[in-house]
């Protein structure tokens, strides 16, 4: 095992004067912690600087606060700000091997780091990290395997994003913008198209509960369900009908951050589940199909409407059941609605194949990371 400082140079960022930060892109781009993972910046610096703090595309960076991310810089030259470090490997080190090694090591440190407000990683900690460094041939073999899988994962995620965009684009093409209503569909309020609207239960999850328990984090921003972190709950038989969800029900996230408020999904599973109090269950009448309603509510134009009407608290916004039912929705021709659902079902088949490929690649990647780096 070798300490990191023995196999590479760790360069700390400079404490640039924040009073000289600007959003004017005619000045020098500056890399802040939040920019490490996303690979681009929207902050610029108007003052003078030393050339030694210029980061080039492809340089290896580490964020030292919050999430301890490591990534290659993916944009044009920019300035290395404080609490971001650049890692420059020696000639006997494969930098991709080092990136993968540190990716796992830093996440383990992050998970064990106590904090009051924000987690901090010190330069001393970073320099003192112990690295298992095999021969260059093994470093190259390992990094090639992991890079190939990483690229497959990234490509599959991108395809899923494009499929989401395709479904949204097809919806607007068929039915028009939800605000402008260019096709002059009949407009009603949500209360006119529902048969039942109920809040979920406020009871806590329990170990070994009888029913799967859907919470707000189980609803994705694109209108899907993420059951990777599923809790369970016990509900008395005489209360179950108040908070159970069944195939075809609509789930509306009524309380969340202002950016995530109003996540809407169709519950499309066969088995019953129970919803938490931060979710509203909606049952529709026969005027609008669940998939059409859910996509309508998840369009960006409607997200702006929801954000505008949400009541803000310290860290949360809220839309209650009465406010939800006052929202206007257009009612497209039923034959067109059915055509849209058929189109979406075909896309969902492709999505399912890509998702399975993504999960298999991710599982293999995680397994190899564990095998190589512990």
Q: Does the structure show a pLDDT above 80 at 97?
A: yes
Nearest-angstrom CA–CA distance, 47 and 20: 6
Using the structure block, give the residue that is written with the tokens 């996509």. 295
- In 3D space, the residue among 57, 30, 33 whose CA is nearest the CA of residue 43 turns out to be 30
Contact yes or no for 39/75 (Cβ under 8 A): yes
DSSP three-state, residue 167: helix
User: pLDDT, tens digit, for every residue of 294-343?
Assistant: 999 999 999 999 999 887 655 789 999 999 999 999 999 999 999 999 99
Q: What is the pLDDT of residue 313?
A: 58
* Helices and strands of the chain, counted as H and E runs: 10, 24
- In 3D space, the residue among 372, 367, 364, 278 whose CA is nearest the CA of residue 316 turns out to be 278
Q: Does the structure show a pLDDT above 90 at 195?
A: yes
Report the largest interatomic distance among the alpha carbons of the chain, rounded to a whole angstrom.
Answer: 71
Nearest-angstrom CA–CA distance, 88 and 71: 13
Nearest-angstrom CA–CA distance, 95 and 144: 11
Nearest-angstrom CA–CA distance, 373 and 208: 34
What percent of the chain is modeled with pLDDT above 70? 98
Q: How many residues does the chain have?
A: 374
pTM: 0.84
Q: What residues does 288 pair with on adjacent strands?
A: none
Contact yes or no for 323/306 (Cβ under 8 A): no
Nearest-angstrom CA–CA distance, 327 and 50: 55
Q: Does the structure show a pLDDT above 80 at 263?
A: yes
Nearest-angstrom CA–CA distance, 243 and 249: 11
Mean pLDDT of 122-145: 95
β-bridge pairing 211-214 and 231-233: antiparallel
Nearest-angstrom CA–CA distance, 220 and 294: 12
Nearest-angstrom CA–CA distance, 69 and 97: 16
Mean pLDDT of 107-133: 87
Q: How far is CA 54 from CA 68, 72, 165, in A?
A: 21, 14, 36
Nearest-angstrom CA–CA distance, 330 and 179: 9
Q: Does the structure show a pLDDT above 80 at 72?
A: yes
Nearest-angstrom CA–CA distance, 185 and 335: 13
Q: What is the pLDDT of residue 115?
A: 73
CA dihedral 354→360→363→366, nearest 10 degrees, is: -70
> Cβ neighbours of residue 95 under 8 Å, at least 6 residues apart?
60, 87, 89
- In 3D space, the residue among 160, 13, 135, 144 whose CA is nearest the CA of residue 73 turns out to be 13
- In 3D space, the residue among 129, 122, 128, 140 whose CA is nearest the CA of residue 85 turns out to be 122
> Cβ neighbours of residue 344 under 8 Å, at least 6 residues apart?
167, 170, 291, 295
Nearest-angstrom CA–CA distance, 272 and 275: 10
Q: What is the pLDDT of residue 241?
A: 94
Q: What residues does 84 pair with on adjacent strands?
A: 63
């Amino acid at each position: 095992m070798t300490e990191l400082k023995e196999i590479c140079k760790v360069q700390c960022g400079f404490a640039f004067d924040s009073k000289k930060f600007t959003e004017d892109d005619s000045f020098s781009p500056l890399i802040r912690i939040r920019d490490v993972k996303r690979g681009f910046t929207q902050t610029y610096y108007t003052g003078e600087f030393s050339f030694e703090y210029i980061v080039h595309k492809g340089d290896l960076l580490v964020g030292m606060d919050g999430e301890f991310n490591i990534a290659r810089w993916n944009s044009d030259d920019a300035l290395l700000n404080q609490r971001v470090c650049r890692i420059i490997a020696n000639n006997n080190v494969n930098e991709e091997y080092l990136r993968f090694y540190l990716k796992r090591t830093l996440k383990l440190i992050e998970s064990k780091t106590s904090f009051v407000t924000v987690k901090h990683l010190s330069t001393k900690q970073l320099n003192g990290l112990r690295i298992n460094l095999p021969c260059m041939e093994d470093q190259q073999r390992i990094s090639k395997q992991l890079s190939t899988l990483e690229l497959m994962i990234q490509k599959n995620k991108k395809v899923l994003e494009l499929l989401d965009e395709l479904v949204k684009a097809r919806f607007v093409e068929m039915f028009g913008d939800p605000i402008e209503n260019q096709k002059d569909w009949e407009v009603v309020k949500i209360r006119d198209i529902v048969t039942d609207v109920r809040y979920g239960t406020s009871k806590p999850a329990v170990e070994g509960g009888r029913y799967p328990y859907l919470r707000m984090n189980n609803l994705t921003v694109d209108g899907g369900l993420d059951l990777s972190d599923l809790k369970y709950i016990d509900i008395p038989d005489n209360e179950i009908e108040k908070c159970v969800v069944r195939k075809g029900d609509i789930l509306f996230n009524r309380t969340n951050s202002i950016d995530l408020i109003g996540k809407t999904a169709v519950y499309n599973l066969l088995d019953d589940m129970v919803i938490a109090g931060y979710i509203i269950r909606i049952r529709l009448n026969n005027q609008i199909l669940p998939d059409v309603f859910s996509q309508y509510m998840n369009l960006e134009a409607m997200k702006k409407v929801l954000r505008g009407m949400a009541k803000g608290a310290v860290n949360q916004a809220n839309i209650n059941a009465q406010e939800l039912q006052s929202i206007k929705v257009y009612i497209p021709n039923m034959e067109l609605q059915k055509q849209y659902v058929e189109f979406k079902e075909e896309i969902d088949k492709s999505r399912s194949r890509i998702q399975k490929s993504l999960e298999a690649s991710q599982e293999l990647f995680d397994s190899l990371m564990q095998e190589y780096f512990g």
